[in-house]
Chains A and B, each alone.
Chain A
Amino acid sequence: MSGRRCVLVVDDDEAIRQYIEWALSDEGYDVLAASDGAVALDVLMRQSPDLILLDMRMPVMDGWAFASAYHALPPPHAPIVVITAARTEQNPAAEIGAAGSLAKPFDVEELLSVAECYTASPR
């Protein structure tokens, strides 16, 4: 594994994508971004990130559809961390077999510790 860890952000909100991209790249991560599940799958054809940060509510292809399509691909699979808005949305993480979740509004520290935690663990 090369030294730089790579994170894929899948979120339809442009501002959120920009924020995560800046926050992680400032800490030395390579960041890939996709505006929906279909774009994310396209990115995954070419690159293999160490972690996927996934928003569930997206147009075209939402988080649930993306997760099942992604898990249908041959392994290895990067761990998925779900970005959720409501407390009641804890279950999507379990539904799609995600490694964890990140509840909005999350601050930079939380984001960085999640990225650190899931990219450091051996796959």
Chain B
Amino acid sequence: MCAATAMLALIALVVLISRVLIIANAGVLYLLVVIASALWLGTGPAILALLLAIGGVAYLYAPIDRDLAVTGARLVVVTIAQLVAVVVARLARREQSRADAERQRFQTVVEHAPAGIAVLRGQDFVFELINPAYQAMAPGKKIMGRTVSEAWPELAHQVLPLLRDVLRTGEAYHAIDMPLPVERTPGEPVAGGYFTFSYIPMRRLRGWVDAILVLVVETTEHVLARRRVEEQRERAEQFAAEAEALSVEREEHLQRLQELDQLKDDFLSTAAHELKTPVTSLRGFAQTLLRQQEKLGAPEPQRLAQTLHIIDEQSQKLARIVNELLDVTRIEDGTLQQERQLVDVVGIVEGVAAAARLQTTRHTIRVVAPARVEIFADPLHIEQVIANLMDNAVRYSPDGGPIDIAVAVGDGAVEIAVRDHGIGIPPEKRAHLFGRFYRAHQGGERSGLGLGLYISNQIVAMHGGRIAVDFPPDGGARFVVTLPPGKGAQSADSQGQER
């Protein structure tokens, strides 16, 4: 309507101006008006302008004389005007259909986009456009034409600050897997969901933002699925780690059992060797004596004396082995009896030292101790421990040398140290020294059943003490028994003196 008024005003203006112009100039002006009408106002107004132009020219320069005679001026004007009208109309139609197709295409994209698309206009963020995918996120809800706060009151407090920021700064905002509370259907409880979305500012020609394009995809299922996969992977990893640990544990257990089995086999073969050797010589010597007696009527006196000495030695050895085995059995089943009393440990040490001096001439056995140190203990057991350490000291210093026993009272404990200068113990054999059946030195006179230190350690532990060992740099070994002092334990001479 307004377009038609503008066009009529334009024509009237041209008519007025053309009264003072020659016909050719007026014709050009009319043409311009027709073209302008066609470009800006469309085909209909262009045809109207064309008719008015023809009328105008005829009125000005060839008054209607009803005869419709074809004059030169008329012909030119009409022809040009027709041509222009046709061209302009065709151009306008093509432009129109192109714009229509463009709009159609855009609409198809928006309609079928798998993502939710919406346009929010103004400061209140009014939904100006939404596509079906957007609506599908809350099927029963009225969204079009409402503001964000009206459509989504449950999440307005979260998204409004973001939208305002986009509007203010003109910068797009992107969120990935943002958890948002969403009311899917009016009246139903709000359910949480995860959304990946973008707020993209839409600018006017001059650059200011007056709308926001919203692109949104709900990723709840993806996030949950990913989380499930993650959980399962974690569980699988944990399971694998547990299985690994279990298999390592089993491996270690198996290895321990194999070691114990090996130790048991070694022990049985050692025990057989240790028991059968003295038995063999006892029988052998008895038999050789008997044979001599049969042959000669009586054994040689010298051999008889030697044999009796050997029999005494060998039976002692047997008795010791049998006692060790009995001790281990009693320790194992907890029936080792203790008769504790206040005893002088220095007296015990000196007794052991005196006995040892009778056994060996190669060793110098020295005792450094106070006159008297009392402990509360089973005297036989303590004697057994010290005798075992002394026996080891003699046995493992085959070349002789000094063996020192020191008794000291200090720091609420009584210490008995036995130090030899013998072959010591190789570093790799030191770890299991107090273990059952463990023998640091295999074979020969030096080996035993591997029970001495084990028994000693158990006995000392029963007394609330412990045995430690160190290896001085100048060789040999130093075993230190630490025992709690007896009630009112005293030492007559804490300095100690050599005797």
Contacts and interface: CB of A to CB of B under 8 A. Distances in A.
Interface residues of A, number: 26
Contacts of A26: 288, 291-292, 295
Contact of B314 (A15, A58, A62, A106): A15
Interface in A68-113: 85-86, 88-89, 104-108, 111
Given A22-B288, A85-B273, A106 B444 contact: no
B445 A59 contact: yes
Nearest to B269: A86
A16 B288 CA distance: 12
B308 interface: no
Interface in B290-334: 291-292, 295, 303, 306, 310, 313-314
B475 to A, nearest CB: 18
Nearest to A18: B310
Interface residues of B, number: 31
Nearest to B303: A22
Interface stretch (B117-125, B278-286, B448-456): B278-286
A105 B313 CA distance: 17
B360 interface: no
A7 interface: no
A85 B269 CA distance: 8
A5 interface: no
A15 B273 CA distance: 14
A67 interface: no
B283 A59 contact: no
A13 interface: yes
Given A105-B283, A108-B291, A15 B443 contact: no
B247 interface: no
Contact of B280 (A22, A36, A58, A105): A105
A50 interface: no
Contacts of B288: 19, 22-23, 26, 108
Contacts of B445: 12-13, 59
B262 interface: no
A16 B272 contact: no
A14 to B, nearest CB: 8
Given A22-B288, A85-B273, A16 B280 contact: yes
B287 A108 contact: yes
Interface string A39-73: 00000000000000000011110100000000000
Contacts of A89: 269
Contacts of B303: 22
A12 B447 CA distance: 11
A42 B33 CA distance: 139
B277 interface: yes
Given A58-B443, A85-B269, A108-B291, A16 B285 contact: no
29 contacts: A12-B445, A13-B277, A13-B445, A15-B310, A15-B314, A16-B284, A18-B306, A18-B310, A19-B280, A19-B281, A19-B285, A22-B285, A23-B288, A26-B292, A57-B442, A57-B444, A59-B441, A59-B443, A59-B444, A60-B444, A85-B273, A86-B272, A86-B273, A88-B268, A88-B269, A106-B280, A106-B284, A108-B284, A108-B291
Q: Which 5 A-B pairs have the closest CB atoms?
A: A59-B444, A85-B273, A19-B284, A104-B276, A15-B281
Given A26-B288, A57-B447, 15 more contacts: A15-B277, A15-B313, A16-B277, A16-B284, A18-B281, A18-B306, A19-B284, A20-B284, A22-B288, A23-B291, A26-B291, A26-B295, A57-B443, A59-B447, A89-B269
